[in-house]
Amino acid sequence: MDSFAFILHPLDPKADVARKYPNLARLLPVRAIHFLSLYWPPLVLSHIRSIRSAATGREVEGWLLACPLTARRMLEVPPRVAYRKIIQTGRLAERLGARILGLGAYTSVVGDGGLTVARALQIPVTTGDSYTAALSVQALLEAAGQVGMMPERATVAVVGATGAIGGACARLLAPRAGRLLLVGRRADALEAMRAELSAGASGPVEAATDIAAIRSADLVLSATSAGRPIIFPEHLKPGTVVCDVARPRDVSMRVHREREDVLVVDGGLAQTPGGVGLGFDYGLPPGLTFGCMAETITLALEGRFEDYTVGKELDVSRVREIQEMAARHGFRPAPLHCLDRPLPPERIRTVAAYRQQMM
């Protein structure tokens, strides 16, 4: 049976460590968890005995592995230190017999987007960013439709537009948006993307380095690697729909508490074939997984053992290809979720009512 491995790492130090070591998480302060994460060895979180393709009946097995570095440590240490821990975890995957390795969360963000890791290992690597981008755009457009919004008549903002996922999402949305707003930190990279996308866009394409610019947006997709909230209540106008792809999240909890006139949905979530579980509680409801993990499993089911999504610039043709492959094998976009829980219908109705009042 062919196999895969996928790397997770702690995003919320207390909550995530408690999933594996509940007593240790109770005893250690967060500062100690960050410190010790640099020295803790990689470990197996679960062995997934079988996932079956809905199309071919092919079965694969897999392992969820933990790279111990917390998100904060992943960003603080020099890239070579983070690479060393990720590669160490990848070599554990090789010893287990995995034929492809997926990089989750910040293990795909650090440095060059998996290129260095792929060169160091004997098995192929994917970041899973292609399917994450496809799912995130689907979630944004689905949420827009549910509140009665047409993207062709809307201003669509992509925050983190020069990153791997943000860039792919911007390219997918450019032909659909009434106006596209690209938001990022580097003015030169934003301008290059603005010029690139203007040729095939359905409306004007603009760029901004100030997050406050999203106040003009009706739809916002945010996919940064900031590692902390960057979108606050004052940044959003009434009736806005936001798709938050980032982990840790880009949207402040204050938005959820203070802005009942704003709809926030999770990006990058997929339903597994047949609702199969993956053997470890990583915070999602049963039967759901992250797009990056779903991409890794899809490639194993397809027998595509190659470096599929690596680097900082995604090929949109591959985004569409993995979307089709995943659907064939039984993956589906998850129903709309917020904070990893099903989105209450009354929340959708409330935001739709605000939009009606504004028209």
CB-based contact 163:140 (threshold 8 Å): no
Mean pLDDT of the chain: 95
Looking at the fold, whether 155 and 264 belong to one and the same domain comes out as yes
Looking at the fold, whether 203 and 345 belong to one and the same domain comes out as yes
**Domain of residue 183, CATH code:** 3.40.50.720
pLDDT score, position 341: 95
Looking at the fold, whether 240 and 344 belong to one and the same domain comes out as yes
Looking at the fold, whether 155 and 255 belong to one and the same domain comes out as yes
339 DSSP assignment: T
Pairing between β-strand 43-52 and β-strand 59-66 as defined by DSSP bridges: antiparallel
**pTM of the shown model:** 0.95
Looking at the fold, whether 252 and 288 belong to one and the same domain comes out as no
Looking at the fold, whether 71 and 208 belong to one and the same domain comes out as no
Looking at the fold, whether 160 and 234 belong to one and the same domain comes out as yes
CB-based contact 143:336 (threshold 8 Å): yes
Q: Which domain, by its residues, includes 9?
A: 2-127+270-333
Q: How many domains does the chain have?
A: 2
pLDDT in tens, 43-98: 999 999 999 999 999 999 999 999 999 999 998 999 999 999 999 999 999 999 99
Looking at the fold, whether 234 and 346 belong to one and the same domain comes out as yes
Report how far residue 327's alpha carbon sits from residue 316's, in angstroms, rounded to the nearest whole number: 17
pLDDT score, position 264: 98
Looking at the fold, whether 220 and 146 belong to one and the same domain comes out as yes
pLDDT in tens, 150-178: 999 999 999 999 999 999 999 999 999 99
Give 126's contacts (C-beta < 8 A, 6+ positions apart): 100, 101, 102, 103, 114, 292, 295, 296, 299, 307, 308, 309, 310
Q: Closest by alpha carbon to 90, among 338, 178, 98? A: 98
215 DSSP assignment: G
Report how far residue 145's alpha carbon sits from residue 135's, in angstroms, rounded to the nearest whole number: 15
Looking at the fold, whether 212 and 201 belong to one and the same domain comes out as yes
Looking at the fold, whether 181 and 251 belong to one and the same domain comes out as yes
pLDDT in tens, 314-356: 999 999 999 999 999 999 999 999 999 999 999 999 999 988 8
